[in-house]
């Protein structure tokens, strides 16, 4: 068991290094002089440009540049944004909680709805309900979420007028940032429940849009994994013992069907962060996704580089953790060691 975990940890190292190479090369592969590109039409004196070049380390040999980049990347010293002049890591940390909040709520929605729908489809296999749910899951899986978000706005905000269109909370509330999570911060603020209600309403549509693809994937995986387990001998034994269908499914089958479901949920972390890039753009959600897109448009290369490095490092880390949970809950893996 310990060996397995250690081996998994070691395989993550080349991936980390590889991603750091990608982030490192990002600025250097841009055709033309990156410093000139960054300054753009704003213009700058040759001295300022030379200083920028040496700040970015662009005047040293490539291998030296990479080593120093790696050093600063590991210590999160990612330079300063050209536009805001603030350190990239501060900008990232200011926006990250918003993305995490959105992703967690989206994932909860996907799990809470996806697992029961998958179970229902598996139990009522080949019924109308099964076809309906799985058809819906296929549509959800193919959904362009940037369109889906707009449709949600069109229906719930424009026509029904029940949800706000953009932002995290109504501007009428003055909410001091404590944790960075609006759901918690709003409860800590003066207006308490009204502010909380506002933040929930703001979160509803983006989370729904973001959770749609994970929801479809989880529902499909739950169904097929449960169907697989239901074929096993011990399920027949359970039936022969006269257990109720409910007990067989929930206690006996689902526990073993959970393993692939956990894996899918792990894979979904990447999907969520990707989806956040689109969802945040639609709903003007002040998270890291929108930050990254605006920095690409404004050619703020330190931010792009730092953002790509941080986001991919987080994804690798989360996948590592999910794999370990997977090894932990899967008895087959435990036997292997």
Pick 30 or 188: Cβ nearer other proteins: 30
Query: What is the spatial distance between Cα 71 and Cα 114, in angstroms, rounded to a whole number?
Result: 42
Q: Out of 22, 44, 58, 324, name the contact with other proteins by CB under 8 A.
A: 22
Nearest to 288 by CA among 318, 310, 317, 260: 310
Q: Footprint of other proteins on residues 226-245 (CB under 8 A)?
A: 227-228
Q: Footprint of other proteins on residues 294-323 (CB under 8 A)?
A: 296-297, 299, 301, 304, 308, 311-312, 315-316, 319
Q: Footprint of other proteins on residues 173-202 (CB under 8 A)?
A: none
Q: Footprint of other proteins on residues 25-54 (CB under 8 A)?
A: 26, 29-31
Nearest to 59 by CA among 35, 87, 75: 35
| Residue ranges with strand state E in 206-301 | none
Query: What is the spatial distance between Cα 122 and Cα 330, in angstroms, rounded to a whole number?
Result: 22
The residue range among 47-55, 79-87, 135-143, 236-244 that interacts with other proteins, by the rule CB under 8 A, is 135-143
Q: Out of 6, 7, 18, 54, name the contact with other proteins by CB under 8 A.
A: 18
Name the minimum Å distance from CB 148 to other proteins.
8
Q: Out of 50, 138, 250, 251, name the contact with other proteins by CB under 8 A.
A: 138
When asked if residue 96 is in the footprint of other proteins (CB under 8 A), the reply is no
Pick 188 or 315: Cβ nearer other proteins: 315
When asked if residue 58 is in the footprint of other proteins (CB under 8 A), the reply is no
Which structure tokens are listed for 252? 């006996």
The alpha helices in the chain, defined as continuous H runs, are 2-29, 34-39, 46-55, 62-74, 88-123, 128-141, 145-152, 182-188, 193-230, 233-240, 245-247, 254-282, 288-297, 301-329, 331-336
Q: With contact defined as beta carbons under 8 Å apart, do 129 and 258 qualify?
A: no
Pick 185 or 280: Cβ nearer other proteins: 280
Bridge-partner residues for 80, per DSSP? 87
Q: How many CA atoms lie within 13 A of 311 on its CB side?
A: 29
Q: Out of 76, 243, 270, 326, name the contact with other proteins by CB under 8 A.
A: 270
Kindly state the number of chain residues that form the binding site for other proteins, as judged by CB under 8 A: 49
Name the minimum Å distance from CB 223 to other proteins.
8
Bridge-partner residues for 87, per DSSP? 80
**Which residues lie below 8 Å from residue 110, measured CB to CB, with a gap of 6+?**
211, 212, 214, 215, 218, 268
Q: With contact defined as beta carbons under 8 Å apart, do 295 and 160 qualify?
A: no
Q: With contact defined as beta carbons under 8 Å apart, do 321 and 242 qualify?
A: no
Q: Out of 1, 158, 250, 321, name the contact with other proteins by CB under 8 A.
A: 158
| Residue ranges with strand state E in the chain | none
Q: Out of 293, 324, 327, 333, name the contact with other proteins by CB under 8 A.
A: 293
Name the minimum Å distance from CB 258 to other proteins.
18
At 80, give phi and psi (nearest 5°): -115, 150
* Residues near other proteins, by CB under 8 A: 14-15, 18-19, 21-22, 26, 29-31, 125, 138-139, 141-144, 146-148, 150-151, 153-154, 158, 224, 227-228, 270-271, 273-274, 277-278, 281-282, 292-293, 296-297, 299, 301, 304, 308, 311-312, 315-316, 319
């Amino acid at each position: 068991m310990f060996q397995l975990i250690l081996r998994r940890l070691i395989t993550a190292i080349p991936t980390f290094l590889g991603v750091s190479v990608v982030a490192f090369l990002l600025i250097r592969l841009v055709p033309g002089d990156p410093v000139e590109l960054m300054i753009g039409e704003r213009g700058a004196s040759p001295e300022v440009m030379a200083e920028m070049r040496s700040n970015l380390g662009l005047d040293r040999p490539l291998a030296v540049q990479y080593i120093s980049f790696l050093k600063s990347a590991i210590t999160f010293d990612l330079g300063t944004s050209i536009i805001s002049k603030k350190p990239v890591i501060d900008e990232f940390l200011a926006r990250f909680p918003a993305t995490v909040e959105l992703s967690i709520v989206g994932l909860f929605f996907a799990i809470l709805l996806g697992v029961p729908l998958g179970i229902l489809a598996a139990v009522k296999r080949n019924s109308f309900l099964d076809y309906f749910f799985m058809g819906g899951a296929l549509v959800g899986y193919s959904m362009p979420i940037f369109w889906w978000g707009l449709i949600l706005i069109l229906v719930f905000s424009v026509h029904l007028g029940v949800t706000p269109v953009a932002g995290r909370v109504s501007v009428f509330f003055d909410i001091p940032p404590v944790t960075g999570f609006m759901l918690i911060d709003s409860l800590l603020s003066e207006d308490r429940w009204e502010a909380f209600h506002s933040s929930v309403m703001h979160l509803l549509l983006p989370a729904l849009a973001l959770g749609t693809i994970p929801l479809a994937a989880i529902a499909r995986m739950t169904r097929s994994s449960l169907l697989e387990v239901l074929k096993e001998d011990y399920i027949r034994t359970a039936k022969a013992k006269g257990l109720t269908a409910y007990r067989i499914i929930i206690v006996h089958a689902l526990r073993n069907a959970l393993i692939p479901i956990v894996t899918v949920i792990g894979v979904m972390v990447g999907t969520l962060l990707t989806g956040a890039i689109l969802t945040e753009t639609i709903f003007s959600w002040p998270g890291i996704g929108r930050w990254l897109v605006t920095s690409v448009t404004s050619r703020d290369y330190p931010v792009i580089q730092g953002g790509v490095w941080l986001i991919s490092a987080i994804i690798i880390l989360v996948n590592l953790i999910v794999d370990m949970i997977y090894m932990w809950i899967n008895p087959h893996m435990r036997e292997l060691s």
